[in-house]
A = this chain, B = another copy of it.
Amino acid sequence: MNGADALCETLLAHGIDTCFANPGTSEMHFVSALDRQPRMRCVLGLFEGVVTGAADGYARMADKPAATLLHLGSGLGNGLANLHNARRANTPMVNIVGDHATDHLQYDAPLTSDIAAIAGAVSHWVRSTAGPDQVSHDARDAIAAAWSPPGQIATLILPADAAWGETNRVVAPATRASRAAPDEAAVRAVAEAIRSGKKTTLLLGDVALRGKALQTAGRIAKATGVRLLAQQANKRLERGRGRVPLDRVQYRVADAIAQFADTEVLALVGAQSPVAFFAYPDMPSTPIGAHTEVLQLAGGEADLCQALQQLAGELRIPRDVVPDVAPVWSDGLPRGDLTVDKLAVAVAALLPEHAIIVDEGITAGRAIYSATQSAAPHDYLQLTGGAIGSGLPMATGAGLACPDRKVVSVQADGSGMYTLQALWTQAREKLDVVTIILANRRYAILHGELKNVGANKAGANASLMLDLDRPELDWCAFAKGAGVEAARATTAEELCDLLTAACAKRGPFLIEAML
């Protein structure tokens, strides 16, 4: 057995059995080891942004890390943006980055670069393994780090000689760290604030947005009148008919300030205190005013469900209180010209039961989120770090993690272009993903931002940089290139027909919605 074999064994022993990969020469021994391990599912992405984004989507839905296999600093660099997004989501992920053999580094060969520096910018944990006998041990540490609640990005640098060198050392698997018990004083402090009658908002993040934790938060809200809110960007939300509905913190700073205007106490439940995405002249960096006291009910490492249950206990909420839940969708199907709002209604109305929505609709995100509040029960994944190009890969990973669930990937065209190679992986793996491209042919959000920063209307040079027309992108052709069936919708009726048909059958399909 060599170091690469020991790595495969260690990953599999921890239940990590999916490897998103784009290997190069320095990873050939690992590729060869994977060949000897048919239990490992290897999924090729034709660009590393697909690899890392798919690993993010997979882990969000599988609740366990995938491995990625990346080629040196440049392969890692290509995957950097979606690692950034995954880091912001606290997604568990184990990256294996090949490096030159240790003795070869001194020669500064063409592909040599400072891998640790690049990895450090997007990882919670980075280590370069010292040799074949250390590989299994270091892999175990990487997996343990990735699995530390709420989840971390662990990057293990694997020099080629550590992969090809002989070893017989495979360590016993680590036990997964459990979530920390809630801080009882913190729970009492929030309970006290609520009992005192202060206007309180519970800001939910991470697993507080799912299952019994969310249900408990809903009971607290029903009994006490506190407001529930989700973070602006979240790893995963469980939503739809019959579930506790949550508004999100708004993207626009002015809107978010208005949301918190009457909040006297903000209690964080696995969430970060809200921050403006960008700074603007004469705008504050956070929507939370000086009149608001910020408390932490429980941090991301804690058992959020237990924290909410303890809060409910402190507040003596009767067992028979049931939360308000989202009603059954009652609107009809949209008709006529296609708009973002009608597209959102179509998705909400036609969404299959227990689907997964992947939202990188950017400017359309607000409408999609709002309309799908009462759609069939679903999970909702979104862009967490602001680095565009996450949607198509994330849908790919989600589809792999949940082969029995339909994925509906709502994708802006500008950001979709960043990682359109993901469509090929969807075709190869026959994933059950419907992609809806919002073809407005512009970076619509940037037209808004150009105004937000006090700049004028786009002139010739700004239009050149913010508009995607001349020539117009043809997404049906891109899909064909990648082996994915596709069709164009120019009216609301066409969109509904195509979405209905795509949801009725299995396999990838792309709808280019002409807005």
Smallest Cβ-Cβ distance to A478: which chain B residue: B481
Number of interface residues of A (CB under 8 A): 105
Cβ of A62 under 8 Å from chain B: no
Contact A481 B470 (CB under 8 A): no
Q: How far is the CA of A120 from the CA of B121 in the complex (A)?
A: 11
Contact B77 A81 (CB under 8 A): yes
Contact A103 B446 (CB under 8 A): no
Cβ of A501 under 8 Å from chain B: no
| Residues from chain B with Cβ under 8 Å of A36 in the complex | 459
A263-289 interface code vs B (CB 8 A; 1 in, 0 out): 000000000000111110100011000
| Residues from chain B with Cβ under 8 Å of A471 in the complex | 424, 427-428, 482-483
A441-482 interface code vs B (CB 8 A; 1 in, 0 out): 000011001101111101111101110101111111110111
Q: How far is the CA of A72 from the CA of B75 in the complex (A)?
A: 19
| Residues from chain B with Cβ under 8 Å of A315 in the complex | none
Q: How far is the CA of A31 from the CA of B448 in the complex (A)?
A: 13
| Residues from chain B with Cβ under 8 Å of A275 in the complex | 107-110
Contact B453 A47 (CB under 8 A): no
Cβ of A214 under 8 Å from chain B: no
Contact A113 B103 (CB under 8 A): no
Contact B121 A73 (CB under 8 A): yes
Q: How far is the CA of A37 from the CA of B29 in the complex (A)?
A: 53
Contact B117 A120 (CB under 8 A): yes
| Selected contact of A74 from candidates B38, B84, B464, CB within 8 Å | B84
> A28-B453, A42-B464, A450-B28 known; A233 and B110 CB under 8 Å?
yes
Contact B478 A278 (CB under 8 A): no
Smallest Cβ-Cβ distance to A286: which chain B residue: B107
Q: How far is the CA of A426 from the CA of B173 in the complex (A)?
A: 52
| Residues from chain B with Cβ under 8 Å of A279 in the complex | 100-101, 103-104, 109, 160-161
Contact A77 B84 (CB under 8 A): yes
A103-123 interface code vs B (CB 8 A; 1 in, 0 out): 110111111011001101110
Contact A109 B276 (CB under 8 A): yes
> A42-B461, A111-B386, A113-B84 known; A121 and B122 CB under 8 Å?
no
Cβ of A58 under 8 Å from chain B: no
Cβ of A396 under 8 Å from chain B: no
| Selected contact of A456 from candidates B32, B100, B160, CB within 8 Å | B32
Contact B110 A470 (CB under 8 A): no
Contact B277 A110 (CB under 8 A): yes
How far, in Å, is A88 (CB) from chain B's closest CB?
A: 5
Cβ of A152 under 8 Å from chain B: no
Q: Which stretch, A17-25, A181-189, A236-244, A254-262, touches the partner chain B? A: A17-25
| Selected contact of A100 from candidates B35, B121, B278, B424, CB within 8 Å | B278
Restricting to A30-50, which residues have a CB under 8 Å from any CB of B?
A: 31-32, 34-38, 40, 42-44, 46-47, 49
Cβ of A78 under 8 Å from chain B: yes
How far, in Å, is A166 (CB) from chain B's closest CB?
A: 11
> A474-B481, A477-B480 known; A103 and B285 CB under 8 Å?
yes
Contact A277 B111 (CB under 8 A): yes
Q: Which stretch, A293-301, A327-335, A414-422, touches the partner chain B? A: A414-422
| Selected contact of A481 from candidates B286, B455, B458, B477, CB within 8 Å | B477
Given A34-B465, A73-B121, output 4 extra A-B contacts at Cβ < 8 Å. Answer: A75-B81, A109-B278, A164-B281, A481-B481
Q: List 24 A-B contacts (CB under 8 A).
A: A28-B446, A31-B461, A32-B453, A32-B456, A43-B464, A46-B414, A73-B121, A74-B80, A77-B80, A78-B418, A80-B118, A106-B285, A107-B276, A109-B276, A109-B279, A110-B233, A110-B277, A110-B385, A111-B386, A114-B120, A424-B473, A472-B483, A474-B480, A477-B480
